[in-house]
Structure 1
């Protein structure tokens, strides 16, 4: 499964119709979730049938394509299934009880309700929402694929406009010549990555560099916010919504910079090595540290990991996630534990007098752990399918699905 994204061009009337379709999809998703809460023992098939009941009861729901309604129900069931799965596995902490959607930004169609033009440069939506024909702006060419290979089409709203995403069922594996190289990489804040060969990649810190501009735009947005209108529950001024869009576009730019950087580095690492070992970091727990949360979020470790797994699957390379426990503390030369704080950036072993950069020492330990699991990738480390390739449906935020590698 591969996802192609195009920017769509249309008239204001069509954009309003897209917003209406998104709100309807959100309404159906929340209704299905409420139905699951009220009636015990419902299955995924029961929620799909409930969509027809909603269409008969609400005229605006009937205007949305039937398969788009089913996609909304599947989104609700996806959250329910994740909750059930965490309960069965007895994962510690919160199990992620499904929540009602407040700000949905996309609507997803399956194999009906839309049609591509003859040259594949425009798409027409045939339901009663009145979206009509939208031009597709992008460099990808859909003429290489059969229409039956397109399993899902999603309309997505972002701060800088509207986009169409196509989920194409195609095998993307590419045969490459072995490089006869292996590497372990350590993710950090001083360096974005440090590998076992001694090379380092600087941390770009896109958010830190744009923080002053973001704060300035945020202050301008706040000045246009009216507390009196908020108390009276009336709409804010048009200038406030324009300022909010400008603020969102700034954040979107930073997010895209980080994504492209992670993509470039991950592609370079995969192309240069046959096996890549990396830390199985729990970023969700690490950002709870209020002193490092901003820097960790700015680094984009999870994004880098997703692209690393994607390119590893595409080019037939082995990617192994290893537990990060003591990889920075243990000496890569003698194996003895040398305690050090985060501020200590140089590893100095008192047992064997080995001196090395802290991150490079950790990357060597990571590579050693990764090599010890090779041959067991189906059981203990990352093996068959990367996270982005699990299932044909897309997430509600427009990004690919995520799945953590099992720990040793």
Structure 2
């Protein structure tokens, strides 16, 4: 056993979150070659299946839908699920109850939040604020939505990197859309500082939390974030295509004017009135009929967080990524990869991105040997570290197999 293998065993022995791993459905040694026993490092794209979900979904399908049918809207709590599940997510992103509603996709919620941000500025008399700033390094859909929102609201869109935002802000700025963690590199951006700068300029801050919620502290309330969105199928393990969420700060809710006013966000949804009157509170962030099957699967998935603190998750995340970089340095031939992820903890999310000239082929070979990460064109290997189910032996094994694959090429 190598020195790093011994170190991994010691770190696993002291892991306070080790027992949480049993709450997930994961590969066993027999599923893959013993040397790479099912190391799953792609939770930043799709989280692993929580063990409680299949049984809960079966109950939803067979009993709630199959037997109770329409009665489940009331008797099984279907109607209140978007807010109830939002309150389950709230402590994971540092928000008080009553400020998060679950439903729709991240893209739809980005549209609601960004247009809603512009309307908040207009409502308070923001004449002359005709520009939207968007993160130039953003996940593509945020850029597409921002461009459409700018056209629809008659605003100019300007793409800048997060580091350029403070200098780019002006009395023309209405809203700023930023990613908390860069999806390619894993860089963690300064949410408190950038939110403060946006507010000082008189603009509204909208944050995309897809790559941070469930991996590190966010502090939405603490830092005065106006609006935020996020997906639930990455570090929250809600399942493929599980519904996203929208955060509207409590003191802004009575002024939040959604560009998608659906019957579910009406003050009297069953009144079937021709004129729209928005519901009170965060409910006005709803649109149409909730996607109950995937929403209740998400609710079951969130049970894995019982008794788990985000602070403990963050501490383990940093320890895992530190150890992975140490193992990569030891096992990977010199000069074969370059880390794109910042070394400083305050600038690092919960993934490591390595630049590698033949990254696509390398990732294919890693997956064949049971180490699952992902590849981003043209030359990036991404490894996501979900502290709820990734251990230090997994990390050592993944880096060792990566070294073997690169040495053989």
Shorter-chain TM band: under 0.3
Determine which structure has more spread, i.e. the larger CA radius of gyration. Answer: 1
Which of 1 and 2 has higher RCO (CA within 8 Å, sep 6+)?
2
TM-score, scaled relative to structure 2: 0.25
TM-score, scaled relative to structure 1: 0.25
